[in-house]
Structure 1
Amino acid sequence: MNSAHPKKNTKNLLKSIEMFFLALVVVGVSVSILGYFYKYSHKSKADSDKIAVEFSTNEILLDSQNSSSSSNILLLSPDQPLVGATVLVNYPKDIVDVQVDNSDSCSDIELLFSSNIDEDEGTIIITKIAPDTQEILPQGIICFAKIIFSKTADGSGAVTFADGPLGNRSWEIVGENLQEYAPSYADQSINITVSDSGVTPSPSEIPTYTPSPSPDPSITDAPTASPTPGSTQTSRKVDFSIKLQGVTKIPRNTGDIPVVISFVRDEEIVDTRSTIFKVQPDGSWKGSGQYDNLLSGVDYLLLIKGPKHLQKKICVARPNEAISGHYSCQTGSIRVENGDTNFDMTGIMLLAGDLPVQNGIIDAVDIIYIRNNLGSKDPEVVSRADLNYDEIVDSQDYTIIINALSFKYDELE
């Protein structure tokens, strides 16, 4: 019996050693697998990061008086600095020619620029890379490139981002440390209409302008210009009706809003005041004021500025526009007569995006504030950035401000 014990102990020892090495192998394989999944799970997460790519306008009208217009391509990268990108675009080659503007007007990513326009296919490939000398890499709202469209034939068509590849080129958006991002451009397009009988649009870009603060609502009785012979001055009620961008029906938030209205005569503001407007069942807004310093028989123009809106210059009592935001005028012919007067301005849209505290321009502060608060129902955020008055700051508000970015500035007298 005792002679069997050494053999049994030897077998047990060998079995223990075998199990030990097997355990080491299992641990090693497990560590390798975990390392593999750790590495590639992080890579997949990085690869899934997306950068929004957008046009700065969604409609362009070309006619006999405006034979060309432009739109910027924007890269929206609030958190990641970018070093370069390749963007692919389709355009309606049968009705417009295109040119990529490489001036300083849209050059947040500096130089090392190339563009390839294929007139036969109607495609554009644009590549921009920040040189080593660019000390601060752009992030936030990045103006990537400006495309100029010139009319060649009547018709309509759309400019879109191409899925690619185009030839041997594909989309590329690259950040620091060669981090790659995927583009996000769903539903982005520019509708182009070319017609010699069309309504003249305002220029889509204003190259130089120094914004001035919004009219001071506390000023209610500005000096009155000298009376014109044959004119009379008396107290009268004036009613105003307006439409706000993004509000097409009665909104959830039906609270009153302040709108600054200024009467201008001979380039001089004769009356400016904040007037309370109330929403109507059709989504328009109405306000009224009692005026005793306006003359009958005299031509005025109006400046209208909403609480989150660009200021609009209006020259007639009932203005209209074919495309939202494109109404434009120079000389006022608005008259107030004895008795009640009604100015119905619902034929045009007050563009939204100049958020409080207003400075007369839609800028990066306004856009980033909305983008950073998407989904918010916080009362303070909503009061500032809810552009369509549905009591939440969401993608609809973001779309509204991006569309208005083509106009960007207050209109002045």
Structure 2
Amino acid sequence: MLESIRRVINKFTPKKLLSSLTGAHRLRFLLILLVAFVVFYFLWIYINTYIFKPKAGVDDVKYDMTAAANKVKVGDEFTVSAIVGPDDSTKRVSAVKLDVAFDDAADHVDYLDYSQVPEYFTEEVIKIAEKSATGKTLHLVLVAKKTTAALQESSSSVQLTMKFKAKRSGIVHFKINEDTDQVVGTSSNIVFSPTGTRETTVVICDVNGDCPTITVTPPITAIPITPPADGIALAFSDFRFQGIVTQPASDVNKIKAKITIKKEDNTLVGEQEVEFIASSSGLWNSSPAIFNQLPAGKYKVFVKGNKHLQMKLCAKVNSAGQDCEIGIFTFQPANPYVIKPPSNEVYNVFLAGDLPRYEHQDGVIDSQDLVFLRNNLGSKNDDKVKIADLTLDKIVDTQDHSLPIFVLGLGINQDTDE
């Protein structure tokens, strides 16, 4: 039996099979084999690209959504922007589809236009959805018409800027719908997973300047730290550092900051260094700073991150929740304090861009900071990352470069020191 099987197998070896075919049949057989190989190859490529694409092949693209002015009056025009940029600075975005919802059932604002077309996008499609019981939705689709090679010469970040007009007093929340947004790369192999800040809020005051009230978090609470008898223990909670929207990896989840206390007349009282650590929510809390020989009185408090502009902390915002009404804190010796920001995105974010280029900061965001960032785009070198990685993702990329540019666009370029 085994001998019979062996004879059959030997009879149909590839060599004998080909030799048994005539010239025309042999050519047809080889052609069938070639077609089968090509079909199998492209099927394998398709399965690996679209069905079994590994997690490592998915790139993050970060959002940074902000309003140019967080408080406006009825009749004012204002813009809401979203910066979209891949973590990998070598990748490019070729198409964006966003649904921006705003809870405007009371018809507080009108959408005017899309006021800024990104440099390499040549087509835009915009439509306002019908007003529903909860608000409106702005559908925004942008498609790049340039070639992949041309896109590579452009910035990897795309800034989407929408213009609105305030109609009625109220509070309007703008949010990108994470269930429907899509960001596409320059090829089917580039898959983006969006992360980052997807929402912002605008307060609309009436023509007389009266504004709706936003609940304000109490700025100072006690902490279980033993302060000196003649001074205070001071810590900070629930702040944000610009561009960092989630908890960084454990080995980079720390930011050193200088705490400065001054009297009301700006006389320097003392300086201490603290260390901020991010919680799982993306909010940052500090270690305590001990200030000895601090008499009872009223003081100004300043915080300067190691790659950030110095900011004067706000003790209380006005009824609109926007402008700082009181920038003075009252301290009593032998007491511990935690300063929390008002529930307002203007006064809880430390602005980035003052780089420690020569192991120290100069108190301003200037062309040297921007040039350093631009010249080191894509760098993962430890020394460069230590200086210019503002988002703490272990690479100097376009997100880092865009942050100080945004700050300069707000008209801010130096430390607040009084």
Aligned-partner residue type, residue 276 of structure 1: E
Counterpart position of 2:306: 307
Cα RMSD (Å): 6.3
Structure 1 contact 57–403 (Cα < 8 Å) conserved: no
The structural deviation recorded for 1:40 is 4.9
After superposition, the Cα gap between the structure-2 partners of 1:63 and 1:89, relative to the gap in structure 1 and judged at 3 Å, is: closer
Aligned-partner residue type, residue 197 of structure 1: P
Counterpart position of 1:27: 33
Q: Find out whether 1:93 has 2:104 as its counterpart.
A: yes
Deviations 1:56-76 (A, max 9, x none): 249x97687998764312221
Percent of residue pairs identical: 11
Structure 2 contact 373–400 (Cα < 8 Å) conserved: no
Structure 2 contact 104–172 (Cα < 8 Å) conserved: no
Deviations 1:278-324 (A, max 9, x none): 689995431123469xx987x653322133555321354xx57999x
The number of residues matched between the two structures is 338
Counterpart position of 1:160: 176
The structural deviation recorded for 1:141 is 2.6
Deviations 1:83-139 (A, max 9, x none): 665544333331442436655xx554268564634262423244556788x998433
Counterpart position of 2:290: 288
Alignment of 1:41-120 (within 5 A): 44=50, 52=61, 54-57=63-66, 70-77=79-86, 78-82=89-93, 85=96, 87-95=98-106, 96-99=108-111, 103=115, 108-109=118-119, 112=122, 114=124, 116-118=126-128, 120=130
Deviations 1:311-353 (A, max 9, x none): 321354xx57999xx775277545678x667664234545475
Counterpart position of 1:259: 258
The structural deviation recorded for 1:252 is 7.0
3-state SS, counterpart of residue 140 of structure 1: coil
Alignment of 1:368-379 (within 5 A): none
Counterpart position of 1:218: none
After superposition, the Cα gap between the structure-2 partners of 1:65 and 1:290, relative to the gap in structure 1 and judged at 3 Å, is: farther
Measured in 2, the distance between the counterparts of 1:271 and 1:13 equals 95
Structure 1 contact 260–274 (Cα < 8 Å) conserved: yes
Aligned-partner residue type, residue 345 of structure 1: I
The structural deviation recorded for 1:261 is 1.3
Structure 1 contact 70–146 (Cα < 8 Å) conserved: yes
- TM-score, normalised to structure 1, is 0.53
Deviations 1:144-202 (A, max 9, x none): 324547364657655223766xxxxx967564xx889666446864264768432499x
After superposition, the Cα gap between the structure-2 partners of 1:385 and 1:304, relative to the gap in structure 1 and judged at 3 Å, is: same
Measured in 2, the distance between the counterparts of 1:13 and 1:162 equals 59
Counterpart position of 1:230: none
The structural deviation recorded for 1:273 is 6.0
Aligned-partner residue type, residue 240 of structure 1: L
Select the residue among 130, 137, 155 that pairs with 1:123. Answer: 137
State which structure, 1 or 2, has the greater radius of gyration over its C-alpha atoms.
1
Aligned-partner residue type, residue 329 of structure 1: C
After superposition, the Cα gap between the structure-2 partners of 1:56 and 1:279, relative to the gap in structure 1 and judged at 3 Å, is: closer
- TM-score, normalised to structure 2, is 0.53
